């Protein structure tokens, strides 16, 4: 049976490559983006226009769809962003609202791709990195036996094809390949781990 996947940030750097890759594997993909005009680049996906920071609007937009997996790509990753408050709205509130919807809607797998996580947070990186860590914490709290959550940390610069490969493997992994309801890993480690399982199975 084909999987149904919701991808946020579908028209971004990773999403533009991920969505066609999932469609090539016969998955039904719902592409969520804030600007309808950007969907022209993703003709094979079901377009959804929504701002994830508007919880009420998001729930209204998503209430008619049923998906197995959410791939959450939308985030503010530029520490020099003109509006630091937007990092908090999108990375924290947006992620929390999406997790809340996913749990209530029977989603079995939630994949989040936080970017620019660092061990040494500088003043310049503070808003972005702290908001990403808060989003990861929300993911941890939302994870359960019925909804596995995986955070694939992406350290810029990263190879888009490697990131897409890691996400695809995470989507296609069977439940037995998830050790815990909540996991954090980097994109290269995730790809290699799933490749080892593929070879041995």
Give the CATH number, domain containing residue 104: 3.40.50.720
Q: What pLDDT, on the 0 to 100 scale, is given for residue 105?
A: 95
DSSP state at residue 89: I
Q: What pLDDT, on the 0 to 100 scale, is given for residue 97?
A: 95
> Considering its fold, how many domains does the chain have in total?
1
pLDDT value at 201 more than 50: no
Name which of 144, 147, 188, 180 is nearest 164 in CA terms.
Answer: 188
pLDDT value at 188 more than 60: no
Q: To the nearest whole number, what is the mean pLDDT of the chain?
A: 81
What is the mean pLDDT of the segment spanning 50-59? 90
Domain hosting residue 14, numbered range = 4-200
Q: What pLDDT, on the 0 to 100 scale, is given for residue 94?
A: 94
Q: What pLDDT, on the 0 to 100 scale, is given for residue 87?
A: 81
pLDDT value at 8 more than 80: yes
**Element (H or E) spanning 195, and its range?**
helix 187-200
Opening angle at CA 84, ends 19 and 16, nearest 5: 10
Residue 21 Cα to chain centre, angstroms: 15
């Amino acid at each position: 049976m084909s999987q149904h996947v919701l991808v946020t940030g579908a028209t971004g750097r990773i999403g533009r490559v991920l969505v066609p890759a999932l469609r090539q594997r016969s998955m039904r993909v719902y592409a969520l983006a804030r600007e309808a005009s950007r969907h022209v680049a993703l003709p094979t996906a079901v377009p959804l226009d929504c701002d994830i920071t508007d919880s009420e609007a998001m729930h209204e937009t998503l209430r008619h769809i049923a998906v197995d997996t959410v791939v959450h790509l939308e985030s503010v990753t530029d520490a020099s962003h003109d509006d630091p408050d937007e990092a908090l709205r999108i990375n924290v509130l947006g992620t929390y609202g999406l997790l809340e919807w996913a749990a209530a809607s029977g989603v079995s797998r939630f994949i989040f791709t936080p970017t620019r996580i660092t061990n040494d947070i500088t003043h310049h990186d503070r808003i972005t990195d702290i908001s990403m860590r808060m989003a990861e914490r929300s993911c941890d709290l939302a994870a359960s036996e019925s909804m596995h959550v995986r955070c694939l940390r992406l350290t810029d610069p990263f190879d888009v094809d490697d990131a897409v490969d890691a996400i695809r493997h995470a989507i296609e992994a069977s439940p037995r390949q998830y050790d815990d309801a909540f996991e954090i890993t980097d994109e290269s480690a995730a790809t290699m781990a799933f490749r080892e399982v593929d070879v041995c199975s």
